[in-house]
Amino acid sequence: MDDFEVSCKGLYRALNIREKYMKLAFQRFPTTPSQFLRKIEGEQWKLDENVLPVFTSPPKDGEDPFCTKDFPPSLGYVARMKDGVIFVYKDAASADKHQPLNHPGPELATFIDDMNFLIALISQGPTKTYTHRRLKFLMSKFNVHEMLNEMEEMKELKKNPHRDFYNCRKVDTHIHAAACMNQKHLLRFIKRSYRVDADRVVAVLKGKEVTMKELFASLNLHPYDLTVDSLDVHAGRQTFQRFDKFNAKYNPVGASELRDLYMKTENHIYGEYFATIIKEVASDLEDARYQYAEPRLSIYGCNPNEWTKLSGWFNKHRVFSPHLKWMIQVPRIYDIFRAKNFVPHFGKMLENIFLPVFQATIDPNSNPELSVFLKHVTGFDSVDDESKHSGHMFSTKSPKPEEWDIVKSPSYTYWIYYMYANIARLNQLRKERGMNTFQFRPHCGEAGAVTHLLACFMTADNISHGLNLKKSPVLQYLYYLAQVPIAMSPLSNNSLFLEYNKNPLLEFHKKGLVVSLSTDDPMQFHYTKEPLMEEYAIAAQVFKLSTCDMCEISRNSVLQSGLSNEEKVHFLGANYLKDGPEGNDIRKTNVAQIRMAYRYETHCYELNLIKEGVMAD
Amino acid sequence: MDDFEVSCKGLYRALNIREKYMKLAFQRFPTTPSQFLRKIEGEQWKLDENVLPVFTSPPKDGEDPFCTKDFPPSLGYVARMKDGVIFVYKDAASADKHQPLNHPGPELATFIDDMNFLIALISQGPTKTYTHRRLKFLMSKFNVHEMLNEMEEMKELKKNPHRDFYNCRKVDTHIHAAACMNQKHLLRFIKRSYRVDADRVVAVLKGKEVTMKELFASLNLHPYDLTVDSLDVHAGRQTFQRFDKFNAKYNPVGASELRDLYMKTENHIYGEYFATIIKEVASDLEDARYQYAEPRLSIYGCNPNEWTKLSGWFNKHRVFSPHLKWMIQVPRIYDIFRAKNFVPHFGKMLENIFLPVFQATIDPNSNPELSVFLKHVTGFDSVDDESKHSGHMFSTKSPKPEEWDIVKSPSYTYWIYYMYANIARLNQLRKERGMNTFQFRPHCGEAGAVTHLLACFMTADNISHGLNLKKSPVLQYLYYLAQVPIAMSPLSNNSLFLEYNKNPLLEFHKKGLVVSLSTDDPMQFHYTKEPLMEEYAIAAQVFKLSTCDMCEISRNSVLQSGLSNEEKVHFLGANYLKDGPEGNDIRKTNVAQIRMAYRYETHCYELNLIKEGVMAD
């Protein structure tokens, strides 16, 4: 076998691996590569609508998004964790015997095999050379396309009535709820709350109820004097390469009491202020009409009660907006909880995170508020500082989650695998019940080892950041071939990990990776009242993006998001699931068909090369 | 004499030259260098309030900014042009004999002498080396200051109540009225005007009055279909290094008819739409509360009537806002007018530009609307593509403006000198009458020869752009020593002349040059609803500016602007005219005193070196 064939066979198998894990969890794998894989295997490709994810449609006229009626009855099943994964059993008896219902999940041994294959592939000489050259070619090809067709693309857009960059839909695909307001908004809110609520009991300090006045007095502060400077939530030069300092910025005026009061769902006022702030942000998005956001709320896994509390907050304050799609973020802070003895082992954390969701899926009426909330949740995120190195290497010999009782955190890959395994089984169950499914959309490749990107290539519907794809041509090319969406936040990176003009966003976009723009934390990074527009404006200016580029990125963001099928049809056109120009409705997306054709032809050309390589002998 | 002394003596004389021409025209020369110059000369320095510029105060409560009463009576003087400069005579008889009243203006021969001295200085080896090294030192010194004092500066700002970057005043020091709205705003305005005024006669086409409906029909357009893309007023990659293409962007949909209708003061509807758009922009600034702008309106010098028409527009539509300070821009397009035989020679253009202003100053009641307008005008700008080379070299042998009758344009320096000479004499007369004076604030150093920056060092109160100071260490150092304000527009440069991350703004700011941020043309360059905030936000992100940096730049913008003394006292503090920490009121500016002290000490240190060098022998 020559080098070319070796590379193609490796890449072919890698694509097959991703396809398998995507299907298993009702996550997305695009049509075009799927068709090529079938062709290589000599099979007929056909669309399997059954493996598509399900997102909750927006409420129809008069429908109450918080309605707790009409949930299906309990299945009477039993959910129980074994080896870090929740299994569903017909009843307690079969649970005791571990005879689970047939919800296929990933097999650990196979997963490790697949993973090891990919680890070998990304450092295999010929494949590195091959992918490096293909990526270089993709870059040059786009530059040529641009030089030849830029004016034609612009002409198409100019002829396109009603639609321009301002009124094509864009989704902020990566934003943390606790930082979704900008610093000025938070400042105003704090001042306003003090004017209205100074004498309200808002917290308990050292066992004693205190009013807002007393709370601020205990901090030697008067909100009237507060400024954006003293609020001190904005990232600056001090936070570069200092994730720890960045995390401290979540505390207004450096006081965790204020974070608890204003940015938490759980506090003495039942997270009322936080809910109000989020609803104000949502109302700004509704006013802007064409902008949507996918805020993350935290589930820590420290306590099984967290879901009930969070969904209680969601329902109590009716935190719903058609412009928001909710995500759950799970911080990877096992070591902290274990050190404080909050959890006995890693398995308990996983159980706290997933068991309540399985239970609410089996019997929605057992926790109607949670069931309502889950309808509006579209996926899971995994978050923390990726530059922290765990020292652990995930293998078949790794302790099972229930055996992981040391204080040290398991590796990123270990975390990712167990989250994925649970989500996959959960989605099986939910799909069976006709409920919405969840996407796995972790933070990945912001820093740390390239193996993070490898783990997510296997398990994630799409990722946030992806900066480190710069470091691995094989993975970068695989992300391209499989069209894995990447939510990039160059302003966030600029404050934390990578200077703006070194950001690979432009390079990725040119090569044809599916990138979207997101804000991450407007409170820490942005200056204006429209953080997502600020993000687009700065990218447009620094990278000199054309309107077609910007509209393509906007379109990517809708595709990547957890917006429902109805919404996607409305925002992108009826054929949005199809690849190439056929799937694009320029009247809705303002993306030139020339661009779509270029992307499609280029993608087919690359896949075809692999087919040739694989079928050579 | 050693190299050091040579350099210092040259720089000393250069500063003296600038001081002389600033005083002559009631323009600003800062106290500190002035004190050093006096010290070198062994003289006592004292503040001469008589040479300060005069800006019209904002109207008091109930005062009408358009009031045409209470103008002083006519002086009965006669104004007449001689050798390109307007002189004022007691009467026609003394005019015929050229016995002007004593309004000292610059002497051409001396000016040329001074200019030639500076031309020699900027290419003198030892001075180049000296200034280059001083600038390098200033840069390193600031970096050290930053490393040592950044946290202390921040602490000062955090302790400063009520004031932060958002509520410290900032002035958009360089913005063209015809492009002061953003593209989306213009689009909305066009659509709205069509909905309301479709059947209104708005223009005359080929001698026939046409309604708006007919006008759009003649262009094969319907505003309902218009988008930002088809409007096509935004600069893109196509405009880089193409000032000609950029200028074409002023035409919406490429149609000069629409430019005439929406962005001109003179048309069939007397510039009503243009006035409305500007008033909407002003109202946005008023809502934002802390933002001001200095829009430029054009006087071409093609016709003596222009002033009357422009001021008629201003008064008719009552285009006044306390957040706007007006500037007059004069495009350097003599060659076009001469080629079309609109003017017989260059002198006539100068006469058309300046004579009406002299006349309205001598007898305000002769043209009350113009007199009202002039009260609100704060300065003159000179605009055009600086990269066009004229081939002419200004010297004592150059033809006088009345003799300049060829089609070719005179050089930049020639233009600048004659504008300055007229403004200087005009200010003398206006000061005498207790009227407001005008600053000369030309576009300078955006492109073209460094001699542009030399001419403006001699004549301009402050400049726009200044990019080319990068190319001449001597001039850059002189701009530093004399603290000549520079309105920079990195987003504009990014689309036209220089990529964002190569912009010298950060470097200039660090070295201590007085830079402000301005938008130039929001219609062409900006994306968001708050162009000035977008400009600040992008600079802050790309250059990683600290809050103190941003507030210092904001403060610079107020100082550079034509805001009145009352407003400056209100926005910067009572002592704003003093240099150093004494002149800074942190409660108003949010600039740390540590920063002010650093700037002041560093400036004195550099001036002191020159004093030592000059007084060495």
Q: What SS3 class is residue A390?
A: coil
A237 inside 8 A of chain B by CB: yes
B225 inside 8 A of chain A by CB: yes
Range 145-174 of A in CB contact (< 8 A) with B? 150, 154, 157-166
Contact B547 A229 (CB under 8 A): yes
Work out the minimum CA distance from A412 to partner chain B, whole angstroms.
Answer: 30
Structure tokens at B407: 């089609």
Structure tokens at B54: 């005069």
Q: How confident is the model over A29-44, as pLDDT tens digits?
A: 999 999 999 999 999 9
One-letter amino acid at A525 equals F
Distance CA B53, CA B28 (A): 7
Work out the minimum CA distance from B253 to partner chain A, whole angstroms.
Answer: 9
Q: Yes or no: say if B484 and B462 are a contact pair by the CB < 8 Å rule.
A: yes
Range 89-108 of A in CB contact (< 8 A) with B? none
Q: How confident is the model over A314-356, as pLDDT tens digits?
A: 999 999 999 999 999 999 999 999 999 999 999 999 999 999 9
B546 inside 8 A of chain A by CB: yes
Contact A537 B526 (CB under 8 A): yes
Block residue for tokens 């723009």: A517
Q: Any idea what the Cα angle at residue A556 is, between residues B183 and A444, rounded to 5°?
A: 120
Distance CA B401, CA B386 (A): 20
**Quick one: what percent of chain A has pLDDT higher than 90?**
94
Q: Closest to A533 (Cβ–Cβ): which among B166, B500, B528?
A: B528
Q: Closest to B237 (Cβ–Cβ): which among A227, A544, A590?
A: A544
B501 inside 8 A of chain A by CB: yes
- Residue B448: its pLDDT value, please? 95
B221 inside 8 A of chain A by CB: no
Beta-carbon neighbour count of residue B120 at 10 Å?
A: 11
Contact A537 B534 (CB under 8 A): yes
Contact B527 A546 (CB under 8 A): no
Q: Closest to B501 (Cβ–Cβ): which among A162, A501, A536?
A: A501
Nearest CA in chain A to B153: A229
Q: Yes or no: say if B265 and B315 are a contact pair by the CB < 8 Å rule.
A: no
Sequence-ordered alpha helix ranges (H) in A91-211: 92-96, 108-122, 125-159, 183-197
Distance CA A375, CA A378 (A): 8
One-letter amino acid at A398 equals S
Question: How many Cβ pairs closer than 8 A exist between chain A and B?
Answer: 125
Q: How confident is the model over B131-175, as pLDDT tens digits?
A: 999 999 999 999 999 999 999 999 999 999 999 999 999 999 999
A251 inside 8 A of chain B by CB: no
- Residue B67: its pLDDT value, please? 94
Within 8 A of A544 by CB-CB distance, chain B residues are: 236-237, 494
Q: When comparing pLDDT for B370 and A237, which is higher?
A: B370
Look up residue B69 and give its DSSP letter.
-
Contact A237 B150 (CB under 8 A): yes
Q: Yes or no: say if B26 and B427 are a contact pair by the CB < 8 Å rule.
A: yes
Instruction: Give the residue from B84, B34, B174 showing the smallest Cα distance to B423.
Output: B84
ipTM score assigned to the predicted complex:
0.92
- Residue B242: its pLDDT value, please? 87
Distance CA B290, CA B292 (A): 7
Task: Say what angle helices A412-432 and A3-24 make with each other, to 10 degrees.
Answer: 50
- Residue B161: its pLDDT value, please? 93
A577 inside 8 A of chain B by CB: no
A305 inside 8 A of chain B by CB: no
Nearest CA in chain B to A503: B542
B287 inside 8 A of chain A by CB: no
Contact B184 A166 (CB under 8 A): yes
Of the residues B323, B465, B509, B526, which is catalytic? Answer: B465
Strands B443-444 and A377-383: unpaired
Within 8 A of B232 by CB-CB distance, chain A residues are: 158
Contact A537 B530 (CB under 8 A): no
Up-side HSE of residue B525: CA atoms within 13 Å toward CB?
29
Distance CA B346, CA B328 (A): 19
Contact B184 A162 (CB under 8 A): no
Q: Any idea what the Cα angle at residue A485 is, between residues A568 and A244, rounded to 5°?
A: 120
Residue A339 burial by Cβ neighbours in a 10 Å radius (0-12, 13-18, 19+)? exposed
Predicted model pTM = 0.95
Q: Yes or no: say if A52 and A427 are a contact pair by the CB < 8 Å rule.
A: no
Mean pLDDT for the stretch of residues A541-563: 97
Contact A230 B159 (CB under 8 A): yes
Q: Which residues contact A261 (CB under 8 A, 6 or more apart)?
A: A202, A203, A212, A215, A267, A269, A273
Q: Closest to B500 (Cβ–Cβ): which among A236, A526, A541?
A: A541
Q: What SS3 class is residue A444?
A: strand
B239 inside 8 A of chain A by CB: no
Structure tokens at B139: 């840069």
Contact A227 B530 (CB under 8 A): no
Distance CA A525, CA A531 (A): 9
Q: Percentages helix, strand, coil for chain A, rounded to the nearest 5?
A: 55, 10, 35
B542 inside 8 A of chain A by CB: yes
Structure tokens at B7: 């350099």
Within 8 A of A160 by CB-CB distance, chain B residues are: 227, 229
Range 471-500 of B in CB contact (< 8 A) with A? 491, 494, 500
Distance CA B43, CA B51 (A): 18
CA distances from B449 to B112, B443, B472 (A): 17, 13, 10
**Is it the case that residue A617 has pLDDT exceeding 80?**
no
- The ranges of chain B with pLDDT < 50 are none
Q: How confident is the model over A158-190, as pLDDT tens digits?
A: 999 999 999 999 999 999 999 999 999 999 999
Q: Closest to B162 (Cβ–Cβ): which among A227, A501, A527?
A: A227
Distance CA B608, CA B617 (A): 15
Q: How confident is the model over A558-580, as pLDDT tens digits?
A: 999 999 999 999 999 999 999 99
Contact A165 B229 (CB under 8 A): yes
State the catalytic residues of A: 465
Task: Say what angle helices B593-614 and B473-481 make with each other, to 10 degrees.
Answer: 120
